Amino acid sequence: MKYSQFNRNVLANAFNFYARALTYPYDELTHELQHLFRGMEKNIENAFDNTVASRILEIINHYQGEEMKALQAEYTRLFTPRKNIPPLISLQLADWTDEHDLSELEDRLFDVGVSQYSGEHPDFMTHVLEYFASILDYEDENWILDFYQKFLKQPIPKLCTIIYKTTTLNFYKEIAKGLHDLIQLMAEALEAPDIDSIDLE
């Protein structure tokens, strides 16, 4: 299956969804996640899209089933550094990739203003996911696939596996499972001859 056969709208909304879901929880986040899901839902074209959207709907249901205080406490426990103590789980790409030189990535993120709101860590996973979503419609296909291979295909599943094993809330388990599976589905789709050859179970 060629990259040109992917539904870029659904992919962009999916990556934006996971970027938002990995931010500190707040009251308006429910509406933002639902808006991204609706953007996907109205553009579903095939079984791949439906699988991605269905898993995102499950995540929204788990988010709505959790108390805000519990969500915020778990986010803090997992991802927030203490004074002189690193976070339990780092959300910096540099901690999950074998790519030792991230200057190319940081230059790209800087060009779209990421460093303006990410402080000293422009390689936060949320920003990387948002950036990837933003380039799907206009960047050269080869560059998109190169970015996916370098910065998403290996690091994201590693991060998701640790989140799944460490969190005590179903919401974060579902995020980890959904994002992990999205990356794996993309990998399988890129190697498959067509959409019907992909195992979507």
Single pTM value for the model: 0.90
Q: How would residue 195 be classed by pLDDT, with cut points 50, 70 and 90?
A: low
Residues 118, 163: Cα–Cα separation, whole Å: 21
Residues 188, 191: Cα–Cα separation, whole Å: 5
* Residue 80 CB-half CA count within 13 A: 11
Q: How would residue 150 be classed by pLDDT, with cut points 50, 70 and 90?
A: confident
Q: How big is the chain, counted in residues? A: 201
Number of neighbours of residue 198 by Cβ within 10 angstroms = 20
Determine the pLDDT at residue 135.
85
Give domain 3-197's CATH superfamily: TorD-like (1.10.3480.10)
Q: How would residue 119 be classed by pLDDT, with cut points 50, 70 and 90?
A: low
Cα of first residue to Cα of last residue in the chain, in angstroms, is 18
* Residue 99 CB-half CA count within 13 A: 21
Q: How would residue 98 be classed by pLDDT, with cut points 50, 70 and 90?
A: confident
Residue 137 DSSP one-character state = T
SS3 107: helix
| CA distances for 198 relative to 31, 54, 100, angstroms | 32, 16, 33
If you search the block for the tokens 């074998």, which residue do you land on? 98
Of 120-124, 161-165, 191-195, which range is least confident?
191-195
Residue 185 has pLDDT above 60, yes or no: yes
